[in-house]
Structure 1
Amino acid sequence: MKEFRTGLVGCGLFGESHLSALQAVPGVAVAAVFDLDVARASSLAAKYQIPMVARSLEELLAAGVDVVHVATPEHCHRGPVIAALQAGKDVLVEKPFATSLEDCAAMTEAAQSSGRALMVGHLLRFDPRYAVLREETAAGRIGRIVAMSAKRGRMRGGFHMYERTHPALCNCVHDIDILLSLDRSPVVRVRGFERKIHSTLNPDWVMGILEFASGAIGRVETNWLLPDAAGVGLDDGLQITGELGSMSLSMQPAGLSVWSEQGYSAPDAGYETRMYGAAHGALLNELLYFYRCLASGQAISAITLQEATNTMRTALALVESARSGRDVELQSWSPVR
């Protein structure tokens, strides 16, 4: 397999998740990391035995890397992504693609003009549980989709790390992307709702109703309201109703639980499970797919830039609707296969 030298831009929690998962990707060596927080970058470099802590993005790009992972805060993707593409690097950028359609368009144009690969890390595309539902739906097992409902619940105490970004753009995008992958027709109308229960900056409860051109109705809900003491780190699920049947995925009640003197906990065993010194699960599947495409020259088709842009278009409409109190009709849609 071809050898890749990789650089990481953004050493936050999910930046470290990338470093952990990359330990299990054959043929990849992380050559450099960069973060505005030099102490954090240095700490991760020491932990994962990375030889270089770059003092600037330009220094990282000049360090002989072939691939760049961008895991900066959500609104800070455009600059490093475009710089890396223009420097001739292939790029994996964390979801969401951006927080504006202008940034999505600029990065897409940079990828097209540079001829380099750019993939948006929509994790659920690589989760076997969601993949099974998508394949069964595509095979026509339950006929035409009538309705879909997806939820995503997180512990209240974790919201302070993500409150900088509206949950529709940070969390709902997971489920919006999955709904768009299930019903391939455009979203034509969105109605959003939001509430600030314990938060002050951005809402900690969000719901959206999506109307598809096919006639299907989708519902997405995200909250950061799970009590920390309950020991339930995530409460995710998906239900699909078709004209010939239905399908369901629920992560609670958890099939895996720990009961100890510290209380009850339900560890995640699907998204990025730590095992044998590396992160496995959906994140590793995503990275294996990305590097397999790079090594073979295969076009990235599991998640296209057009699909990632449509996800952001829908999420932004949800935010607009929630804030205005009115339905938002989508006037444009990027063509998808």
Structure 2
Amino acid sequence: MEILQQNASAAQVWEEAEEFIRLFHRENPEAGDPRARLAEVRAELADTGTYRHTPRELVHGARVAWRNSNRCIGRLYWNSLRVRDRRTLTEAEDIADECFAHLREATNGGRVRPTITVFAPDAPDRPGPLIWNEQLVRYAGYGDHHSITVGDARNAPLTEALLRHGWAGGAGTPFDLLPLVVQGVDDKPRWFDTPVDAVLEVPIRHPDRRDDWGDWDLRWHAVPAISNMCLEIGGVHYPAAPFNGWYMGTEIGARNLADTDRYNLLPAVARRLGLATTSDRSLWKDRALVELNRAVLHSFDEAGVTIADHHTESRRFLSHLEREESKGREVGADWSWIVPPISGAATPVFHRTYEDRPSATAYVHHAGAQERARGEDLV
């Protein structure tokens, strides 16, 4: 997931294309001998400077990219990824509509389905479309002082940029849906209001203190759809390819709602729990963090929305390692991302080492992705 440059030589594209085509045929024996397909790809590369994946190659490539995702603990089900092929779409409005359709389909009434929607790839004569937002669903962050933000502080720069460029803003709550910023081929970025019916939100209540938490109106959305990473398959870059799995509870309870540069709720949770916060040695932050995570898991379960807990997901990851190793495939992983942000040592993934292996078929951040997610140079 490192930041990479998009330019590649013809020789490099061929090298990556050959590696992927051979992988595809090796893992799909019914596709037959790869030599005929390799000859087609080589001829197409010589003629156009790129090549087009078959629908089956696209599906397998997107799944393998998930399998290769070194920072993802939830890879056990990589082969179940649903692939929506929208490679013919290049216009911002069409892409936005399909992104919202993606959310509706992935939400699936709460039984979240791992899904990716793949739009037009980069071509030698023009870049592909882009989605500026980090995720298809993001909450606005308002504030006119650096230390006071209503909503998600991480999104304050993008919120400010959108307000400068015509967005009227939401109701001013901590959970106003941000518009989706899409840049079509040969076009400037445009923003599109996120339809309410495309986003399932879960009210957050504590299992033991429901009344105490009811007036907060805490909530979080059901589908974590990453939207500013590039899907790379065999030398072809798909810069707009939003994808999702389902949440692990700690992503919401230990990061989104708890981080000091996000919602920073631990002091407020501690006050609700009646904890003394004058000394870190009382471990008030730790106690508040656990209770906030309990609330997230309880609330998603009560709403019937798919979510994983970090203990179960850690065991599943080790099952993934065993399964892949039994097939002769090496699994890369980034320890700092695989180990959960709470109770790390209580999970089996903590007590292992991993190699952070690069791969040519992967989801990566290209140069400029993080700046776009902050709304920089939005015109």
- TM-score of Structure 1 vs Structure 2, range by shorter chain: under 0.3
Larger radius of gyration: 2
Of Structure 1 and Structure 2, the greater helix share is in 2
- Alignment TM-score, normalising by the size of structure 2: 0.22
More relative contact order in 1 or in 2 (CA 8 Å, sep 6+)? 2
Of Structure 1 and Structure 2, the greater strand share is in 1
- Alignment TM-score, normalising by the size of structure 1: 0.24
